[in-house]
Amino acid sequence: MKKLINDPSRVVDEMIEGIVLSHEGLAVLSGHRVILRSDVEALRRSGKVAIVSGGGSGHEPAHAGYVGEGMLTAAVCGDVFTSPSTDAVLAAIRAVTGTGGTLLIVKNYTGDRLNFGLAAELARSEGLSVAMVVVADDVSLSAGGDNAGRRGIAGTVLVHKVAGAAAAAGRTLEEVEAEAERAAHAVGTMGVALTPCIVPAAGKPSFTLGEDEIELGLGIHGEAGVERVALRPVDDLVGLLVDRVLDSLGLREGETVALLANNLGGTPAMEMDLVARAALKAASARGTSVERMWTGTFLTAIEMAGCSISAMRLDPGLLSALDAPASAPAWPGTGTKPSAALPTIECPREEAVEQRMAAPNPRIVSAIRAAAERLVAEETRLTDLDRKVGDGDLGANLARGAQAILAEIDTYRDLTAAAVLRALSASLRRTVGGTSGALYAAGLLRAANTLEGRTAVRAQDWSEALRAGAQAIAQIGDAKVGDRTMLDALLPAADRFSGSDEASFFEAVEAARTGAEATAAILPRRGRSSYLGERALGIPDPGAEAAAAWLDAVAGSLGDPADPA
């Protein structure tokens, strides 16, 4: 068991302290595991109904996270997955109940029903007005089978919201109770688990699942689900949950719902967005319109990976109660009204800056072709190098850029040199990505600007362009020779290529090769490799190797240095 805890037996108490210390407006009830609004005294005198919920811990942010204006007045926290004691519930009722009375919202578990129920009886015998609503939203269990009835799960949060809004609006206890009942009947939930969870005091998972097994209709206490099936794509899985939930509500086409896509604790936020997408797709396929939607972590089973989908059939009263303001820390605010189609904004078209030139220059095109073909041929070697000292994408990224260039190379044939470099820059920017994509795009653009307006481009011009390009890369990447980057090849090459003499380009390529090889002995100070420190030693920098390779290919395409063709 790997958990961020001190002592398994202190988890709940320390969690309560953490919640209360880090959220304004909350307090702990002295001597009890009860979190309540710190303005509870004024509230008691206000005549408004108080709302109390709670249950076993391990479902955070439920229920303490829903204590706040417009939702719960207090939450009673039991041990992990264990109902709180009658005395803790009674203490909470006594602390919050004023002339308006108190409504208890209880998830349907035997222990919770008994402890909240007995506490309510005791409080009534003390003269306090207390009502209780039980939430049983888990539609994976039949409502009247051989079990303790449907369990209360994530849909309970929506019941808190509806009851809290009614109480905040100053309704009477009977009215708030009726609203909560209505909400409880209008909501259904079903979940799926990908992994079990570990109760800190137990130290072991509650059940085990095979590599591609999942549990449908699981309980939020790590109880196994009603059906063990094979993992399948999220669209199928969530589609199934949505269908079962909406079927069980007897929802007819055209009716509207609020949807809650809930993370059971261990699901990446990224996957929850796929869950949300799938749920909306499934609802719309049935002709159900989703008026409000929330995606997030509402009621969990510790670190269980998986999700649940809750749907509440809406009427105007329930909708406005869900929309009413609430300041509880874990309530995200008004749900969004999902859009039917993907809202899309078209990209403004990039202006094509093409310049035809009088005399086409086949040497530029053949040099570019050679460089691009070399990068394609070097893909595996560069990938291997980047895998060792980076993240392994350099070979594929540069090869993709090279392919894009090869695909459009014929359009370069009658552009000016500046326009060709700009076209290269734009293609690499669009296709390469990563650090190299941006750096090469910047370098090529600077080189293009250097050549702007020059018609007859000679070695002198190319020398200036190479220097300007390399300097742009150094500037934007904040790197210099010796930092173990592509600049260890590019800058020495730019220095060596004198312009007055085309043959010096071959010496420049030599300098690039020497520079690239030398990077194997340099401690990385820029880019991803810098996180590796000494572990990068012995392996040359992939970006420098790539630069040396394409420069070498360009030299090869120039043919005999003595032959100026």
Please, what is the Cα angle at 249 between 246 and 250, to 5 degrees?
90
Q: Does 386 bind Mg ion (CB under 5 A)?
A: yes
Nearer to ligand ADP, 15 or 473 (CB): 473
Stretch that binds ligand ADP, among 39-47, 72-80, 355-363, 434-442 (CB under 6 A): 434-442
The whole-angstrom separation of Cα 246 and Cα 10 is 40
Q: Does 394 bind Mg ion (CB under 5 A)?
A: yes
Q: How, if at all, do strands 227-230 and 213-216 pair?
A: antiparallel
Token digits of residue 66: 């829903």
Residue 473's binding partner out of Mg ion, ligand ADP, none, with CB under 5 to 8 Å set by partner kind? ligand ADP
The whole-angstrom separation of Cα 211 and Cα 267 is 16
Q: Does 473 bind ligand ADP (CB under 6 A)?
A: yes
Nearer to ligand ADP, 84 or 543 (CB): 543
Mind giving me the DSSP string for 217-249? T--TTS---SEEEE---HHHHHHHHHHHHHHHT
Nearer to Mg ion, 227 or 391 (CB): 391
Selection from 324, 313, 332, 203 nearest residue 272 by Cα: 332
* b/e 500-533 (16+ beta carbons within 10 angstroms → b): eebebbbbbbbbbbebbbbbbebebebbbbeeee
Nearer to ligand ADP, 75 or 472 (CB): 472
- DSSP symbol at 290: E
Q: Does 379 bind ligand ADP (CB under 6 A)?
A: no
- DSSP symbol at 287: T
Stretch that binds ligand ADP, among 11-19, 78-86, 222-230, 432-440 (CB under 6 A): 432-440
* 63: number of Cβ within 10 Å: 29
Residue 178 in contact with residue 295, Cβ under 8 Å? Answer: no
Q: Does 51 bind ligand ADP (CB under 6 A)?
A: no
Token digits of residue 186: 């209008």
Q: Does 164 bind ligand ADP (CB under 6 A)?
A: no
Q: Does 425 bind ligand ADP (CB under 6 A)?
A: no
Residue 436's binding partner out of ligand ADP, Mg ion, none, with CB under 5 to 8 Å set by partner kind? ligand ADP
Residue 120 in contact with residue 130, Cβ under 8 Å? Answer: yes
Residue 459 in contact with residue 500, Cβ under 8 Å? Answer: yes
What is each CA distance from 135 to 143, 151, 378, 402, 537, in whole angstroms?
12, 8, 63, 61, 62
Instruction: Point out the residues that are catalytic.
Output: 221
Q: Does 464 bind Mg ion (CB under 5 A)?
A: no
Residue 479's binding partner out of ligand ADP, Mg ion, none, with CB under 5 to 8 Å set by partner kind? ligand ADP
Q: Does 58 bind ligand ADP (CB under 6 A)?
A: no
Which residue is nearest to ligand ADP, using beta carbons?
Answer: 543
Binding-site member from 102, 267, 297, 435 for ligand ADP (CB under 6 A): 435
The whole-angstrom separation of Cα 155 and Cα 29 is 27
Residue 376 Cβ vs ligand ADP, minimum distance, rounded to whole Å:
16
Nearer to Mg ion, 169 or 476 (CB): 476
Q: Does 53 bind ligand ADP (CB under 6 A)?
A: no
Q: Which of residues 485-504 bind ligand ADP (CB under 6 A)?
A: 485-487
Q: Does 379 bind Mg ion (CB under 5 A)?
A: no
Nearer to ligand ADP, 346 or 534 (CB): 534
Binding-site member from 33, 151, 160, 526 for ligand ADP (CB under 6 A): 526
Indicate the SS3 state at residue 52: strand
* 269: number of Cβ within 10 Å: 10
First to last CA, the chain: 72
Q: Does 393 bind Mg ion (CB under 5 A)?
A: yes
Residue 430 in contact with residue 404, Cβ under 8 Å? Answer: yes
Nearer to ligand ADP, 172 or 514 (CB): 514
Q: Does 390 bind Mg ion (CB under 5 A)?
A: yes
Q: How, if at all, do strands 306-313 and 187-193 pair?
A: antiparallel
Q: Which residues contact 511 (CB under 8 A, 6 or more apart)?
A: 492, 493, 495, 496
Residue 397's binding partner out of ligand ADP, Mg ion, none, with CB under 5 to 8 Å set by partner kind? ligand ADP
Residue 329 Cβ vs ligand ADP, minimum distance, rounded to whole Å:
37
Which residue is nearest to Mg ion, using beta carbons?
Answer: 390
Q: Does 531 bind Mg ion (CB under 5 A)?
A: no
Size of site (CB under 5 A) for Mg ion: 5
Q: Does 436 bind ligand ADP (CB under 6 A)?
A: yes
> Contact letters (x/-) for ligand ADP, 295-334, by CB under 6 A?
----------------------------------------
Q: Does 439 bind ligand ADP (CB under 6 A)?
A: yes
Q: Does 378 bind ligand ADP (CB under 6 A)?
A: no
- Residue 515 corresponds to which amino acid? G
Q: Does 394 bind ligand ADP (CB under 6 A)?
A: yes
Which residues of this chain interact with ligand ADP, rule CB under 6 A?
A: 386, 390-391, 393-394, 397, 434-436, 439, 473, 477-479, 485-487, 526-528, 541-544
Which residues of this chain interact with Mg ion, rule CB under 5 A?
A: 386, 390-391, 393-394
